[in-house]
Amino acid sequence: MSGTSLDGIDAVLAAFENDTCKLLHSQFIPFDEALRVELLALNSAGANELERAALAANELSRRYAAAIQALLGKAEIRAAQVKAIGCHGQTVRHRPDLGFTIQLANPALLAELTGIAVVADFRSRDIAADGQGAPLVPAFHAALFRHPERHRVIVNIGGISNLTSLPPHGGVLGFDCGPGNLLLDAWTTLHLGQPYDKDGAWAASGQPIPELLRRLLTEPFFAAPPPKSTGRDLFNLPWLEHFLSPDFAPADVQATLLELTAKGIAAAILDHCGEANEIYLCGGGAHNGTLVRRLKLSLPNRTIAPTDDLGVNADWVEAFAFAWLARQTLNGKPGNLPEVTGAKGGRILGAIYRA
């Protein structure tokens, strides 16, 4: 998995037996600055972008292969023992409103480099069935984290934040809430030259700007009902700059962006699953202490903890989910939840590239 935050590649080794799944080992490989900059640039139209996208897909697949080889070496597992690789690819466009989504990868090259079958292109079939193509992780959250008596919400805070509501009875709900880390990271990079605001320390040094927060929250996405999904196509620096004043101190803007992420998540929970009393966080934002404290203030009298408390490290939930989705594909089972994505029905997701 390489996500909207553009920090690098998460790889996990997962074992499945009957209805149980276990995360055995994990590996992270960071993106170097040149690749990160190119992937970010490919989120917008530019010169020679078709060739650049193809070259970036090849380079990503070589990095994916390196991550897999490092992971298997750590686990002392041979490639022949692995059934398949679930490869999400790197999202550079997500426009379900126009009927497409683009995740860069070359799964044929990845299969060639690793000698392992690859399952890729998970999102396009759901969009073809009139769905959003995202989020896809709620089906995995339901399989792994649902409790027979407690109403849980799983919140993934990556570049974009999304939630999965898991009531003990009834259907699963899931949708994107809005920005997670991507605006926070972009503003930090612009002003501090750092890839992210560690533990939200810079945001904590400022004060939220009420008028700016109010204006940001007028974005129609926040009030739109699910199913819904979003990405850098909407939430990006040009979108933010439209709301800014030169009088705003950069640290105060950062504090406001952190409040935007917290308010987006909290409002989504209160509006759609307010009776839930257990909220578990995963993704990079789970490590942002300032953000977690703001969530606790906005959602009092609830358990708010990382998914580590449920037995899965918060950093690896999404990569684990795409291993599970690959298994669904190989077994000929749907990977989407129509009530989450809005698709016309359950669909077998992905294409298989045999080794």
Q: Across residues 330-352, what is the average pLDDT?
A: 98
**pLDDT band for position 19 (50/70/90)?**
confident
CB 352 within 8 A of CB 330: yes
Nearest to 13 by CA among 26, 2, 4: 26
CA–CA distance, 71 with 157 (Å, rounded to integer): 24
- What was the pLDDT predicted at 319? 98
Question: How much of the chain exceeds pLDDT 90, in percent?
Answer: 98
Question: How much of the chain exceeds pLDDT 70, in percent?
Answer: 100
**pLDDT band for position 300 (50/70/90)?**
very high
CB 1 within 8 A of CB 120: no
Q: Across residues 225-232, what is the average pLDDT?
A: 97
Whether residue 18 has pLDDT greater than 90: no
Average pLDDT along the chain: 97
Could you give the domains of the chain?
A: 8-133+317-353 (3.30.420.40), 138-310 (3.30.420.40)
Q: Across residues 290-302, what is the average pLDDT?
A: 97
In order, the DSSP letters of 277-297 are -EEEEESGGGG-HHHHHHHHH
CB 219 within 8 A of CB 225: no
Q: Across residues 165-172, what is the average pLDDT?
A: 96
Q: What angle (nearest 5°) sits at the alpha carbon of residue 320, between those of residues 318 and 324?
A: 115
CA–CA distance, 328 with 16 (Å, rounded to integer): 11
Q: Across residues 186-193, what is the average pLDDT?
A: 97
Nearest to 236 by CA among 176, 191, 178: 178
Tokens representing 135?
């989020």
pLDDT tens string 248-262: 999 999 999 999 999
Write a three-state SS string for 190-248.
HHHCCCCCHHHHHHHHCCCCHHHHHHHCCCHHHHCCCCCCCCCCCCCHHHHHCCCCCCC
Nearest to 337 by CA among 146, 178, 100, 147: 146
**Hey, is 78 helix, strand or coil?**
coil
Q: Are strands 160-166 and 152-157 parallel, antiparallel or unpaired?
A: antiparallel
